[in-house]
Structure 1
Amino acid sequence: MREGASLEARRLASLALGRVEDEGAYLHLALRGLLRQHATTARAAARATALAAGVLRWKTRLDWALQRVSAWPLTAVDTPVRQVLRVAAYEIGFTSTPPPIAVDLAVRLTRRLHPEASGFVNAVLRALVRASRDGMPAPAGGPVDERLAITYGHPRWLVRRWLDRFGLATTEAILRANNEPSPPTVRVNLMRTTPASLQRRWAAEGIPSAAGALVSFAVEIHLPGRSLEQLPGYDEGLFSPQSEASMLPALVVGSVAGETAADLCSAPGGKATQIAEMAEDQAHVLAFDRHAGRLGLVRRNARRLGLRSLRFAVADARRPPLGAGSLDAVLLDAPCTDLGTVRRRPDVRWRRRPEDVEEMARLQRQLLDAAAGLIRPGGRLVYSVCSFEREETTEHLAYVAERHGMQAVPVEAMAAWRGPRGTGADREGMTLLPHEVRTDGFFVVRFEPLRRV
C-alpha cells in the first residue's frame, strides 16, 4: 500500500471509531459515510475497515495496555488522539505491521489531527512497543470475569453472564472464537447454478473460495476486502450474501411448494428469498417488514434473483394483516440482541446493555403471540434469532406450549445441513455457539400444534 494510502486508511479507521464512540454510530454505517465523503482506493478502504473492526474486538485490552504506559488517563485524552492510539496499539499487538511503522504512521496522523499531541502519542506508543515484545500485555490476575473481559475484549457484564451459564472453559472458548475471523459466505441460487459451477467461474477469475462448513449450498469467499456484491454472478442472481447460520431458518421451514408461507420480519430478504428458491418459485411467499425502505431491499433482491412468487407488504409483525389460521408456514426471525453476531459485528458487544436481553425477550413474546395465531392445523412456526441467550431462545418454548398449544419438534429432515446434528434432533431447538461453528451464534426452533390423543 502506498504511503499516502496507508495514512489515509488509519485516518478513516480513527474517524469511524470516533463516530462509534461519540455518536453511537454503527461501525459499518460510519465507515460507509466516510468512504462516500473521502475518495480512496479499495485497498485503503479495506484496510480501514479491518483496523476499525480489530480495535473494537480488542478495545478493553488495548486500553488496559495503553493505560499502563501512559502518564495521562486514557479517558482524559481527546477522542481523535485516543482512536489513533488504539489503532496503532492494535497494529502493534495483533497485526504483521512492523511496530516502528505503526508508531511512525500514528505520529504523522496525530500531527494532522491534533498536532500538539504528537509527542505524547510518540512516547506512549514507543513504551507500548517495549512492553509488547512478548505480545500485547494482559492482566495475569484479578477477578476472573474482569480478567477475561480485558484479555478478550468483551464487556464485563456479558462475560459474567456466560460464566454463570457455561463455566470457565466454554466461556473462554466463546470469547476466543468471537475474536477470530469468520469468512464471508454466500448462498448459491440453485435455481440458476450450482456451488461447484460458481466456484469454477470464480477460480478462473482468481477468486479463491471453499465449500461452506454447515450448509451444502453455501460457499465461503477467501478474498479479504472484496465486496461480495462486486463478485461475478451477483447481478445475474447466482448467489446472495448471507451467513451460514442465517440459512438455517428456511431449511427448518422445509419444503413449501404449493403452500402459503410468510416471513414476518423479512428485510433485507435473505430468508424470504431462500424460502422461495427452495420451493423453486412454486410457493406463495409473503414478505413483511415494518419499514418501507427496508422492504424495498427485499423487493430488489427478489427481482435480482428472478423470483416471482413473493408478495410484499409494510406491516408490524405484532399486527400482521392476515387472517387467523391462514398460513401453512410462518418464519419469525425476530429482532434480538444480536449477541451471536459479535464475531462479524464487533461493535455489537459495546452497544448492548444487560437490560436489553429482557427487553428483547418481551418483544419476542409479543411477536410469537401474533405469529402463532396465523398457523393452520398441521402447519408450522419457525422461530429464530442470532443470539444464544436463554431469555431469547429456550425460555420461549414453555411459553409457546402453554399459551398456544404448540410444541417444539425435532428438525432432523434437513438434507442440505451438514453440520453437527446433535442439537438439531432434540426438542430444545438448535443452538449454535460461536466456538462450535465458523459462523454466528444462533438459535432456531420449529413449533407445531400439539397433537391431541
Structure 2
Amino acid sequence: MKNVTTNPRQQAFLALRAIQRGAFADEVVDRTLREGQLDDRDRRLFTELVYGATRRQRTLDAVIDQLASKPSDRQPEDLRLLLHLGLYQLRYLSQIPASAAVNTTVDLAKQNGFSGLSGFVNGVLRQYTRLSAGETDPLQLPTDPVARIGIKHSFPDWIVQVYLDQLSSDETEQLCAWFNQPPHIDLRVNPIKTSLETVEAALQAAGISVTRLPHLPQGLRLLTPPGSVQALPGFAEGWWMVQDASAQLVAHLVDPQPDEVVIDACAAPGGKTLHLAELMHDRGTVWACDRTPSRLKKLAQNRDRLGFQSIQIYTGDSRTQPQFQAIADRVLVDAPCSGLGTLHRHADARWRQTPESVEQLATLQTELLTAAADWVKPGGVLVYATCTLHPAENEAVIQTFLAQHESEWQLEPPAPTHPAAAFATPSGWVKVWSHQHDMDGFFMVRLKKH
C-alpha cells in the first residue's frame, strides 16, 4: 500500500473519523485536498469515498447489521468506518474490482490498530461479495415504507416522512435518489461584463461542454467535469459566478429595477445579492446584510471580482435593524433553513438536521420575515425564499405571516411570462422539486405591500 500521506483510502478513513467526531464534511475534504499530496486520480477517489460513505452510512450500517454478528452501533467506531469504506466500494463503485476493495480495507484495518480483527473485516466483505454475485440484493429491506426508503436511499426516517407527506412513494424515492447524485455546476453569466454567447464559446473552446438552462436568461450548466472552477475562462475577469439554477430564479422573482433601494436581509455568501445588482444594471443601492462577518468577506471578494459599485455591506442581525424602516423598494429574505432541498451538496447535512432544529429554524425564519417586512415602502415587494422542501419552513411561515398581516400584504404569483412561472403552484408560491426539474429543491414567494 502507499504510505499514509499519499494513500487515498487512509486519508478517507481519517476524514470519516473527523466527520464522525463533529467536523463538517466539506471542510474536512477541502482541507485534505489543500494540504495533502494526492494526485488527481487519488483526489477523485478520496472525495468519492468520503462523501459517498458519509451520505450512504444508514444503508451501509444496515448491511453490517445483516452480515456481522454484532450490529453496527455496537462495533468499535473506527472499525465501523473501515467497514463503511469497504462496503461502499463493493456496493457503489463498480469500477473498483471487488478483490481490491476487500484487500485494501483489510490492510487499512491492520494499519489502524485492528490487526486482530482483520479476519473479521475480510469475512464480512467477502460474504457481501458472495451474496452480491447472486440474483438478489444482499441488503434485505423492511416492509414499512418509511424505513424501506430510509434504508435503501440512506435518509433519516423523519426526512423521508416529510417528503412522503407531500409526494407519492415512487416520487419520494425518485427525490431521495436524486439527492444521492453528485451536484450539477451551474453558472450565472454577468451581463454587465459579457454575454451568454461569449462565455458559452470560451468554455467550449476550453473543452467544457455546456447547455443553456431553460427559463433562465443568464444560466449555463457545465456538462463536463471542470476541475478547478477558478481556472475556467472568465473567472478572474468576473464574467460569471457559480449559482444553481433554482437560486437564479430568486432574484428574478424580486425583479429589482435600476435606481431602486433593495435589501438582501440574509445576504452571505452573496450569490443572490450580486444577481440583484446585475438585474439593476449596477444602478441604485443593494444593501447586503448578514450577521456573519467571515461569510460577508466572500461576498465582498465576489463583488470586487464582478466589478459592482452598488452593493453596500452591513454586518448585523436583520431582526434588529430599525434604520432600514420603510426605506426599501424591494426586500429579499433568503432565510437560513434546514437545506432539505440541497442535501446532494452537503453529504452530512441529512444527519445534522433534526425535527427540533427545523422548529428552531421556523421560529427564526418568522422573526426575520416579520422584521424585514417593516423595511418595505408602501407598494413595495417582499420575497421570501429557502432551499428546503419542509412545509414548516415554507408554506406554514407564509400562511402565518399573511394571517397576521392580511390587511397590509398580499401574495403576488409570478406572471405567466416570468422565469419562475414554470414552477408556480396553484397557491401562488414557487416550489422547485429536484426530481421533477433537475435543479436544487427551493421554495419562494413574492408578497406585495398595500
Q: Under TM normalisation by the shorter chain, which class is it?
A: over 0.9
Cα distance in 2 for partners of 1:81, 1:343 equals 26
Cα distance in 1 for partners of 2:87, 2:225 equals 22
Cα distance in 1 for partners of 2:214, 2:76 equals 44
Contact 1:251 1:414 in 2 (8 A): no
Contact 1:210 1:220 in 2 (8 A): yes
Map residues 401-440 of structure 1 onto 2, 5 A cutoff. Answer: 401-404=402-405, 405-412=408-415, 415=418, 417=419, 421-424=421-424, 426-440=426-440
* Residue 275 (structure 1) aligned with residue 255 (structure 2): no
Q: Once the two structures are superposed, what CA deviation does each residue of 1:50-82 show, in whole Å capped at 9, x if it has no partner?
A: 222222332211211122222333223333332
Contact 1:253 1:382 in 2 (8 A): yes
SS in 1 for 2:431: strand
Map residues 68-107 of structure 1 onto 2, 5 A cutoff. Answer: 68-96=66-94, 97-107=96-106
Cα distance in 2 for partners of 1:233, 1:5 equals 38
Contact 1:409 1:447 in 2 (8 A): yes
Cα distance in 2 for partners of 1:29, 1:328 equals 38
Cα distance in 1 for partners of 2:215, 2:93 equals 29
Q: Once the two structures are superposed, what CA deviation does each residue of 1:36-63 show, in whole Å capped at 9, x if it has no partner?
A: 4433224322321222222233221121
Map residues 330-369 of structure 1 onto 2, 5 A cutoff. Answer: 330-369=331-370
Cα distance in 2 for partners of 1:244, 1:146 equals 32
Cα distance in 2 for partners of 1:73, 1:13 equals 23
- 2:12 equivalent in structure 1: 13
Distance 1:131 1:7, change over 3 A: farther
For residue 128 of structure 1, report the CA deviation from its aligned partner.
1.1
Q: Once the two structures are superposed, what CA deviation does each residue of 1:317-375 show, in whole Å capped at 9, x if it has no partner?
A: 11125332110000110011111111222311111111122211111110011111011
For residue 423 of structure 1, report the CA deviation from its aligned partner.
4.0
CA RMSD across the alignment: 2.3
Cα distance in 2 for partners of 1:63, 1:437 equals 31
SS in 1 for 2:21: helix
* Residue 166 (structure 1) aligned with residue 167 (structure 2): yes
- 2:191 equivalent in structure 1: 190
Q: Once the two structures are superposed, what CA deviation does each residue of 1:3-30 show, in whole Å capped at 9, x if it has no partner?
A: 779972222222222222222x211012
TM-score (structure 1 length as normaliser): 0.92
- 2:233 equivalent in structure 1: 232
Map residues 17-416 of structure 1 onto 2, 5 A cutoff. Answer: 17-23=16-22, 25-96=23-94, 97-116=96-115, 117-133=117-133, 134=135, 137-213=138-214, 215-224=216-225, 226-404=227-405, 405-412=408-415, 415=418
- In structure 1, the gaps of 5 or more residues are none
Cα distance in 2 for partners of 1:235, 1:414 equals 34
Contact 2:409 2:448 in 1 (8 A): yes
SS in 1 for 2:237: coil
Contact 1:213 1:438 in 2 (8 A): no
Superposed structure 1 runs of 4+ greater than 4 Å apart = 2-7
Contact 1:63 1:74 in 2 (8 A): yes
- Opposite residue 327 of structure 1, the aligned amino acid is A
Contact 1:58 1:152 in 2 (8 A): yes
SS in 2 for 1:103: helix
Q: Once the two structures are superposed, what CA deviation does each residue of 1:97-156 show, in whole Å capped at 9, x if it has no partner?
A: 221121122222222223413222222111111122257533344311111110111001
Contact 1:62 1:89 in 2 (8 A): yes
For residue 400 of structure 1, report the CA deviation from its aligned partner.
2.3
- Opposite residue 89 of structure 2, the aligned amino acid is E
Percent of aligned positions that are identical:
30
Instruction: State the number of aligned residues.
Output: 445
Distance 1:84 1:200, change over 3 A: farther
SS in 1 for 2:312: strand
SS in 1 for 2:283: coil
SS in 2 for 1:146: helix
Cα distance in 1 for partners of 2:220, 2:379 equals 34
- In structure 2, the gaps of 5 or more residues are none
Cα distance in 2 for partners of 1:374, 1:42 equals 49
Distance 1:115 1:249, change over 3 A: same
Contact 2:162 2:390 in 1 (8 A): no
SS in 2 for 1:285: strand
Cα distance in 2 for partners of 1:9, 1:445 equals 45
Contact 2:131 2:138 in 1 (8 A): yes
Distance 1:323 1:64, change over 3 A: closer
For residue 194 of structure 1, report the CA deviation from its aligned partner.
2.4
- Opposite residue 76 of structure 2, the aligned amino acid is D
Cα distance in 2 for partners of 1:6, 1:199 equals 39
- Opposite residue 185 of structure 2, the aligned amino acid is P
Cα distance in 1 for partners of 2:222, 2:130 equals 37
Cα distance in 2 for partners of 1:4, 1:196 equals 47
SS in 1 for 2:400: helix
Distance 1:297 1:140, change over 3 A: closer
Cα distance in 2 for partners of 1:177, 1:121 equals 31
Cα distance in 2 for partners of 1:137, 1:145 equals 20
Cα distance in 2 for partners of 1:46, 1:158 equals 29
SS in 2 for 1:72: coil
- Opposite residue 344 of structure 2, the aligned amino acid is R
Distance 1:305 1:414, change over 3 A: farther
Q: Once the two structures are superposed, what CA deviation does each residue of 1:351-405 show, in whole Å capped at 9, x if it has no partner?
A: 1111122211111110011111011111100110001211111112232223332
Cα distance in 2 for partners of 1:62, 1:19 equals 18
Give the stretch that moved more between structures: 56-65 or 68-77. Answer: 68-77
- Opposite residue 35 of structure 1, the aligned amino acid is L
